[in-house]
Amino acid sequence: MIRKLLAAFAVLCAGAIVSAHAADKIDPAADLKAFQAYFKQQFPAVPLDDFVNGPYAVNKGMRAQWESIMQFPPYDFALDAGKTLFNTPFKNGKTYASCFPHKGVGIRQDYPQFDAKTGEVVTLELAINRCRAANGEASLNYETGPMDSIVAYMAETSRGKRFDIKVPKDPRALAAYQNGKQYFYSRRGQLNFSCASCHVTAAGKRMRGDILAPALGILASFPIYRSDWGSMGTVPRRFTSCNSQVRAVALKPDDKAYRDLEYFLTYMGNGLPVAGPGTRP
């Protein structure tokens, strides 16, 4: 009897060790499978591609208002401005097209990406500012202003293309991915919320009047015109405002932690279509 119990205990211990080990192993593909399966199970009525529409995918009343707003979306002005900015030459005569594959058209789905040269994650916003630096131009604000217009235009030229974020076998890429994953699940701020508290556990529920968007595909519609802001904003702008909402001191918009988070979160939405620019409450 005792022997049997001991044996069972040993099996349990072994199991615990195995699962602890599994938690340490960095396996983006397995994570993605589990992540998408979770949301499919939570929202069986929502088609996979519809997750890019955030709260509108899971709430009928909000969807009707959104459809009304999309008849003439308020990001139209930003889109026009972005097209002009994108095609306006720098002082040296070159344009943004010179910095990107396919002249920067239809490439949103490939960002953020791991840059093997520097060993870090490059978001589209960072790539745009690097492009400016390479051409002797000053950096743009990461969160709003001309940056969101340019990103809006670049997203629009990529609409419908499916996110295809790559996490290469490079240990630095895997570390960045894991870092983003840790950020996503870590509680922070005085309210003690993680990204996951709102957008996984409470996804689709009401929080102070708003419907929380599911984390799956949550970045696919960026940049967004947010009624709450009364203006456009990029992914980093949303991250800083999310941080403030849980009473955590926000990081610099181009902080490595945010870029890693965007890397992880966008990767989780691989296969979903680009839907930016978008509108949100």
| Site for another protein contains 229 (CB under 8 A) | yes
Considering only CA atoms, which of 230, 232, 236, 218 is closest in space to residue 129?
236
| Closest distance to another protein from the beta carbon of 39 (Å) | 9
Kindly tell me which of 84 and 92 has the beta carbon lying closer to another protein.
84
> Which of 28, 55, 236, 269 is in the footprint of another protein by CB under 8 A?
55
Q: Is 112 in a helix, a strand, or coil?
A: coil
Which range, of 34-42, 123-131, 155-163, 259-267, touches another protein by CB under 8 A? Answer: 34-42
Considering only CA atoms, which of 164, 150, 173, 163 is closest in space to residue 100?
150
| Closest distance to another protein from the beta carbon of 275 (Å) | 14
| Site for another protein contains 68 (CB under 8 A) | yes
181-200 positions binding another protein, by CB under 8 A = 181-182, 185-190, 192-194, 196-198, 200
DSSP string across 144-155: STHHHHHHHHHH
Residue with token string 């211990």 = 13
Question: Angle at CA 278, nearest 5°, toward 61 and 243?
Answer: 90
| Site for another protein contains 139 (CB under 8 A) | no
Beta bridge partners of residue 206, listed in sequence order: 211
| Site for another protein contains 271 (CB under 8 A) | no
| Site for another protein contains 242 (CB under 8 A) | yes
Nearest-angstrom CA–CA distance, 221 and 54: 8
Q: What does DSSP assign to residue 244?
A: H
What residues contact 240, with CB distance under 8 A and at least 6 apart?
143, 250, 251, 253
Kindly tell me which of 69 and 99 has the beta carbon lying closer to another protein.
69
146-175 positions binding another protein, by CB under 8 A = 146, 148-149
| Site for another protein contains 251 (CB under 8 A) | yes
| Closest distance to another protein from the beta carbon of 42 (Å) | 10
Considering only CA atoms, which of 199, 207, 189 is closest in space to residue 264?
199
69-128 positions binding another protein, by CB under 8 A = 69, 71-72, 74, 76-78, 80-81, 84
- Reply yes or no: is the peptide bond before residue 273 cis, omega within 30 of 0: no
| Closest distance to another protein from the beta carbon of 200 (Å) | 6
Catalytic residue among 13, 131, 195, 242: 242
Neighbours of 174 (CB within 10 A): 16
Two tokens, residue 72: 């003439």
> Would residue 242 show up in a list of annotated catalytic residues for this protein?
yes
Which range, of 59-67, 94-102, 111-119, 122-130, touches another protein by CB under 8 A? Answer: 59-67
Give catalytic residues, as residue numbers. 242
